[in-house]
Structure 1
Amino acid sequence: MGFILSRKFTLCAFANFVDVLRLAADEGDRSRPILCNWTVLSDSMDAVMSSSGITVQPKERLGDPGRFDYIVVVGGLMDELPSLSAGQTRFLQEAASQGVPLVGVCSGAFLLHQAGLMDGYRCCVSWFHHSEFLSQFEGLNPVSDQIFVVDRDRLTCSGGASSAHLAAHLVDKHVGQAQASKSLHIMIIDDQLQAEKPQPGISMDFKTRDPIVLRALLLMQQNIDTPLSVAEVAKRIGHSKRQLERHFRVALDTSPQAAFLSIRLSLAHHLIETSEKSVAQIALDCGFCDSSHLSRMFRRQFGCTPLALRQSREAQAG
């Protein structure tokens, strides 16, 4: 695999992807590239700075893309999303013409589209960037309710832990399921997730291009365990409570308070299904007073209690 890193790329997404390859490539965690091989590519060979300020030194010049089984483009911050260089764009276009599958990690899907390589393809984007993708790239079909998307010879994921699961999908396909599982287990990541697994966090009912609403939703998600009042959310994003409520009503036909509750309950539902945390701990993590408070709100939203949902899932698994 060849990697192209954008300026301000997301280090976590890149590291997760590479570490799955590293751990699958050899016995244990000895890191010899026997079953998998990877390199960082560049046309200039200049060090590339990540969004965290840590730099990565490319190892090889671009050369012939046909020598790779996959080429992975790792994107980064949306606010500073750069264009690919002319050399990188030509390299990716040549890779596509040779039938080399292209992978977009984090905002890498945006960069692939800028190179004219995503027309007619479904692509995975973070829930928070869904509206930005629609506004910038008309005619595409961004998917923001899955952790990754495989559409023929284009593979995309939203970054973070999802990049590990996309890498595990490729290891499973080409090396073996045992190696894929081993990589994730050594990284202390739960069992391999399939592409259709929904992105955790925000309720996917909230799709809007309104920047004020998007900023408020992100702030809510960042303060799930200690919920902010609507007035405090409005203050932090520089608007009045009444303005914020009006934007939510127009954009989502709901109130900020109801949206915040839905976000917290969606995360609680995700944790009930995927974690071994107690209901009481999940209640605290999601900003509820106690398990009784969570259970009341949960039943109202989903038609069952958290305990009943967990028991049903356990029965299905058994």
Structure 2
Amino acid sequence: MLTNTKFGNQNTPRLTVGFILANRFTLCAFANFVDVLRLAADEGDRSRPILCNWTVLSERMDPITSSSGITVQPKERLGDPRRFNYIVVVGGLMAEEPNLSPAYQKFLHEAAAAGVPLVGVCTGAFLLHEAGLLDGYRCCISWFHHSEVVDQFEGLDPVTEQIFVVDRDRLTCSGGVSSAHLAAYLVDKHVGRAQANKSLHIMIIDDALQAEKPQPGIPLDLKTQDTIVQRALLIMQQNIDMPISVQEIARRMGNSKRQVERHFRISLDTSPQVAFLNIRLDLAHHLIEKSQKSVAQIAVDCGFCDSSHLSRMFRRRYGCTPQALRRPSTLEPELAVSNLRSDATFDG
């Protein structure tokens, strides 16, 4: 056992985590989670597993290849799950995600039966669901995968409005940086808030975010259960900086333009064109308030021809210009226009 005079002698780790990595797992999500543990486990960034301990588990001990092509060598065989405080399943690419092998599923069921909490990172939630381990639990998934979930995972109770979800002994997160915040939540709980914040700060991440923090990029004002509209909104999200036509959106979905327009009218009482413009303006509004980017750069990032085009559309929507929004004391007195017209005069 490692010793350290500041941390005391013969320390038993306060937080132990076993990782199961899916084939083609997402390296970023795994690395963020591990680095929070690593930095919380020791003084500075010396990386000794004193307060936290972690290991990659395997059925056969073969190297595991991530979606980026980088491989990770497992350290231990599955064994007894009770030696860990948490078992974390890191998922991989949606299109290539096979079910976990029977040995992994057996191990996870043994962990659940022993009361060891299970964690699904990124698409790891889908693997837990397919193993029958998320029945009756809410789980967090990325907004990016919402349409696939609706189509493929019957019975899953997905949450796309938060960066992570803690539902009793099941913890799930949307991947990416959210895995660092979920790891920090565990460090805070078992080791201490100071260690959790230290980890994030060394990683150049602001203070720990709560589970309820919204995921970036979600069209929060456009709530619908219509799967056609949901898929169209997802395509819009993915093309904010270079907007595509409704005709092209419909083609990618395998629907007609008229079908898509009809579903938007029924579900959201607006047109796809106006919904797309509002998503872009919402993002521009957020960036103007929260970032230091120039209005010209925000215009480019949000798919407008130039800052004049953005300013014109922004004023129609919010009743003031982007420049005025950044100078609250000089806001123009006009009342904001609540909604853009959805008729043929659309100017997006």
SS in 1 for 2:68: coil
Q: Which amino acid in the other structure matches residue 117 of structure 1? A: L
CA distance, structure 1, for counterparts of residue 155 and residue 254 of structure 2: 33
Q: 1:190-246: per-residue Cα shift (whole Å, max 9, x none)? A: 221111111111304255664x76665444333323333445555677877556545
Q: How does 1:57-96 map to 2 (within 5 A)?
A: 57-96=73-112
Match of 2:192 among 176, 198, 209: 176
Number of the residue aligned with 2:174: 158
Q: Which amino acid in the other structure matches residue 139 of structure 2? A: C
Sort the Cα spacing of 1:308 and 1:188 in 2 relative to 1 into closer, same or farther, 3 A. Answer: farther
Sort the Cα spacing of 1:41 and 1:310 in 2 relative to 1 into closer, same or farther, 3 A. Answer: farther
Q: 1:104-152: per-residue Cα shift (whole Å, max 9, x none)? A: 0011111111111111111001113224324433333211111110111
Question: How far is the alpha carbon of 1:279 from its aligned partner?
Answer: 4.9
Question: How far is the alpha carbon of 1:101 from its aligned partner?
Answer: 0.7
Sort the Cα spacing of 1:215 and 1:90 in 2 relative to 1 into closer, same or farther, 3 A. Answer: same
Q: Within the alignment, does 1:47 sit opposite 2:63 as a pair?
A: yes
Q: How does 1:146-295 map to 2 (within 5 A)?
A: 146-204=162-220, 205=222, 207=224, 210=227, 216-231=232-247, 233=249, 245=261, 248=264, 254-272=270-288, 274-289=290-305, 293-294=309-310
SS in 2 for 1:39: strand
Contact in 1 for aligned 2:87/2:116 (Cα 8 Å): yes
Larger Rg: 2
Contact in 2 for aligned 1:148/1:157 (Cα 8 Å): yes
Q: Which amino acid in the other structure matches residue 227 of structure 1? A: P
* Range moving further from structure 2, 175-184 or 275-284: 275-284
CA distance, structure 2, for counterparts of residue 166 and residue 48 of structure 1: 23
Q: Within the alignment, does 1:18 sit opposite 2:41 as a pair?
A: no
CA distance, structure 1, for counterparts of residue 281 and residue 306 of structure 2: 13
Sort the Cα spacing of 1:118 and 1:3 in 2 relative to 1 into closer, same or farther, 3 A. Answer: same
Q: Which amino acid in the other structure matches residue 200 of structure 1? A: P
SS in 1 for 2:62: coil
Contact in 2 for aligned 1:132/1:209 (Cα 8 Å): no
* Range moving further from structure 2, 260-269 or 47-56: 260-269
Paired positions, count = 311
CA distance, structure 2, for counterparts of residue 32 and residue 108 of structure 1: 27
TM-score (norm 1): 0.84
Work out the percentage of aligned pairs sharing the same amino acid. Answer: 78
Q: 1:138-182: per-residue Cα shift (whole Å, max 9, x none)? A: 333211111110111110011111111111111111112222112
Unaligned ranges ≥5, structure 2: 1-16, 329-348
Higher helix share: 1
Number of the residue aligned with 2:12: none
Question: How far is the alpha carbon of 1:47 from its aligned partner?
Answer: 1.2
Question: How far is the alpha carbon of 1:26 from its aligned partner?
Answer: 1.5
Question: How far is the alpha carbon of 1:287 from its aligned partner?
Answer: 2.5
Unaligned ranges ≥5, structure 1: 313-318
Number of the residue aligned with 2:149: 133
